[in-house]
Structure 1
């Protein structure tokens, strides 16, 4: 009984984020971003699209990172019509580490600086058989400036409260197959918060600010694997439009106040919050960081 109550208490903050108070922040408050170079992963749809749109409206140079050139170019055309500004397609397949390395090299051949990285792309509840090219669980794997700071914005979810890390499930294994695809999704979002905090701890002295966040319950393509009936119910009583969902990450990536939130977790809409206590456990964070470093070691030379 005690353990059950303890778990419920850890998940309780997520319930308070389902229907947030009216936002005090709007895209009109974003400062001029002339000279800022930004990458938005998954920028062709949903929260990513709305984030790119707002950044273009405030004069940022935006690389729209996506796997599909066709989908990206369609989004870029739509964004140009809406803003008069043109995003730049940047090919990036987050499910293939070799492709990620190639993509990073391509970006560095064109730009000397990156001021904001939005780790926005994600996938929710895909079939259990779907893995990255390197054999990782798909949901787990698809994971200097004028103010003298660069920002890394990591889009998590309220699902970060629902699970912790199951160390034997990051790659395909009998243990992974015992978990539901929902649990694997929540685990990946929990890991996002831990990783953002580790980036903040390890690179603060180099001027990097890392913030993770729950964007809220939003209507996007993320729900493409949700069963139709559940999707309909969610859309009716739980979900907000994508422009609303982009507010918190736009605040984190553009507003001067957010420079004080290094290593923190934000909640809808553009408010400072706290995730589960496990996310702030240094032993867990260091263990996860080492595991991630070992996985990418073959691609670092």
Structure 2
């Protein structure tokens, strides 16, 4: 009953009390949005630019990012900056942080927004992990961990003493009970689980990581949240079959709605007090999967993630 109730309230949310007009002036704020060349990330970047933030679009394709930056400049009059980042290659993640660190000494908000959804099961990351878990969880973990010093510096320079890490999960996090560590590489267990289960695994992983980050770095001014942005019509569904898309279309909202909850977490005065919270559409605190609040599973995943990234 809990999952059914959560799914209903997250799929059919009440009218939002928060809009992009409520975002305060962000002059002087340095913000990274991963995957901001399209979909929810692009809408997030648009609202941030409209409120005078310095926005880095972190994406794999320079061609797509350049196109998005131009479109955003036309729409807002403000120009975002490109940061080359391939979350499916940990060496690229490290290089991206090194490049960013030559340009900025502080980071005020990190939107871990990029994601992969139900690609062919054969697809792996450069280091041989499941593409979804590797991109959605491992890549974002490593990116965030390397940016911690700049986030701490950003918190110290902020009037409220906070920097924010906003982790985009989904309602898919509700549909699995634990992390299957034996299925995260190219194993028989992974192939047996299938691509949809691996998506659910990655989305629960986003919540677990966000909660552990909140515990470890909250006392240094880092506010970490995870969220379901809503069922949003983007190219994230490009790998969904016609049968699945038929049902998805009945519940999909346009991309601007998907940006609302993460913008609330990342920019609003209330967002400074949301450390460790799971957020749901539109701009509300939810309960999420109880597995996401399991302190042992949070710690186990963090330890595993550190082990996978320690020698990059």
TM-score bracket, normalised by the shorter chain, equals: over 0.9
- Deviations along 1:114-173, one digit per CA (max 9) or x if unpaired, are 000000000100000001001111110112242221110000000100013112111111
1:254 is matched with which residue? 267
- Deviations along 1:9-47, one digit per CA (max 9) or x if unpaired, are 345412321110010100000000000000000000000
Alpha carbons 1:11, 1:276 under 8 Å: kept: no
CA distance in 2, matches of 1:122, 1:33: 26
1:62 is matched with which residue? 55
CA distance in 2, matches of 1:150, 1:54: 18
Alignment of 1:93-108 (within 5 A): 93-108=86-101
Unpaired runs of at least 5, structure 1: 1-7
2:291 is matched with which residue? 278
Instruction: Please report how far the alpha carbon of residue 260 of structure 1 lies from its aligned counterpart in structure 2 after TM superposition.
Output: 1.1
Query: Deviation above 3 Å: which 4+ runs of structure 1?
Result: 8-12
1:36 is matched with which residue? 29
CA distance in 1, matches of 2:45, 2:6: 29
Alpha carbons 1:11, 1:161 under 8 Å: kept: no
2:226 is matched with which residue? 212
Alpha carbons 1:92, 1:99 under 8 Å: kept: yes
- Deviations along 1:252-274, one digit per CA (max 9) or x if unpaired, are 00001011110110000000011
CA distance in 1, matches of 2:272, 2:116: 28
Q: CA RMSD in A?
A: 1.0
CA distance in 1, matches of 2:199, 2:8: 18
Distance change (3 Å), C-alpha of 1:214 and 1:189: same
Instruction: Calculate the TM-score normalised by the size of structure 1.
Output: 0.95
Alpha carbons 1:11, 1:162 under 8 Å: kept: no
2:166 is matched with which residue? 153
Alpha carbons 1:137, 1:172 under 8 Å: kept: yes
Distance change (3 Å), C-alpha of 1:139 and 1:242: same
1:227 equivalent in alignment to 2:220: no
Q: 2:253 aligns with which of 240, 245, 248?
A: 240
- Deviations along 1:238-290, one digit per CA (max 9) or x if unpaired, are 10000011000000000010111101100000000111111111111111000
Aligned length: 291
Instruction: Calculate the TM-score normalised by the size of structure 2.
Output: 0.91
Instruction: Please report how far the alpha carbon of residue 180 of structure 1 lies from its aligned counterpart in structure 2 after TM superposition.
Output: 2.0
